[in-house]
Structure 1
């Protein structure tokens, strides 16, 4: 699973990748986040009514059909192998895929990042929950897949990473055939150009919960 990640890139390094209007106040309040946990707001890239938009969503998916969210467990990950079938995820998979910018993810005492330290996209799905009183909550979760050779020694799952140039097809609305064409993006990604470093190295040490 992917339960911790970081986004320490400066906003000016992210802006060339982001499309559409930014959340109000983001440019003034954005700051690097070396440790992002479930339940916290995540920066996401998505389509809203066909237009690209950058927004915030809580990490932990709340399905739109839930009547009372109090005390409900909110999944932070969805298995790519079953995302199209599970009731909690299938509507989001069909209509509400998103991209989550990150520059590392943390697993079992290791920090996994690109060798060039560039940010990358985690694959996600998002939902919008509307309460009876008009309350609105956007939430999301990260898709996971089988581990590659880099991750397998430390964990049985890893996050799906969407490669550059595949952002548009990932976000666009698609019929059944179109969604099937996305399945190749859910397979384990090539570990070439990535590194796995222990968190106990002084320059990489991050606070753990």
Structure 2
């Protein structure tokens, strides 16, 4: 899965990577979480012959896709990821797979190695050679009962490659820059025509760096959360304990 990621490139770098315009005021963010606004890019209007204008459109969407048929969002799960293996057939995603495929620019993502069913060691997972990546995304515009509309989105995931599998069994789908146009082409290409793009990243594409548990809290947004560090390695501090206190009661964060 992908429940946190970062986009720390400058607006100019992100705009050039996606071939979009209008990102001058888009800030760097180190700890992006579900329900927050995220940047996505979709195919725009076809370029006129000889035009130098970008043919992709940037969008800010709520991270957590809401299908159009949902009646009560309070009773609907938060769909911030979509399993790529069945997205084209699943009711929640099939319309977006056909009509609203998108790119999600990122500097990397975070994942946690599970320990006893709980979040254990967090990792900052980034391209080994640096730079940006684009995750495969889906967009759905949800009409609220009051009449207002909200653009929402999800990130597609796939079975993890060998670099990530020891941490988690899923990873985001990475779209190669050479395949941006294919993935975004919802006018002429059906989901089956781009199914080959829904695959794990190439071996050694990512590097996984252990980091401290600062990333666990959404309020921690500075670059310090990406610094190398491991949890559970510091010696336990001796503290006074009241008689009868239960030492097994601990806070997670």
- How far off its partner does 1:192 sit? 2.6
Corresponding residue number in structure 1 for 2:28: 32
2 CA distance for matches of 1:52 and 1:147?
A: 29
- How far off its partner does 1:181 sit? 2.7
Corresponding residue number in structure 1 for 2:208: 196
Name which of 199, 204, 227 aligns with 1:205.
227
Report whether the alignment pairs 1:12 with 2:12.
yes
The root-mean-square deviation of aligned C-alpha atoms, in Å, is: 2.3
1:6 touches 1:34 (CA, 8 Å); kept in 2?
yes
Moved more, 185-194 or 82-91: 185-194
2 CA distance for matches of 1:154 and 1:20?
A: 34
1:134-145 counterparts in 2 under 5 A? 134-145=147-158
Larger-Rg structure: 2
2:15 touches 2:21 (CA, 8 Å); kept in 1?
no
1:19 touches 1:54 (CA, 8 Å); kept in 2?
no
- How far off its partner does 1:69 sit? 2.0
Corresponding residue number in structure 1 for 2:42: 46
1:1-209 counterparts in 2 under 5 A? 1-22=1-22, 26-28=23-25, 30-47=26-43, 52-108=56-112, 109-174=122-187, 178-200=190-212, 204-205=226-227
Q: How many pairs align?
A: 203
- How far off its partner does 1:49 sit? 5.9
More contact order relative to length (CA 8 Å, sep ≥ 6)? 1
- How far off its partner does 1:204 sit? 2.5
2 CA distance for matches of 1:204 and 1:70?
A: 33
- How far off its partner does 1:169 sit? 0.7
Do the aligned partners of residues 135 and 203 (structure 1) sit closer, same or farther apart at CA in structure 2, a change above 3 Å counting?
Answer: closer
1 CA distance for matches of 2:174 and 2:27?
A: 23
Moved more, 66-75 or 142-151: 66-75
1 CA distance for matches of 2:192 and 2:179?
A: 14
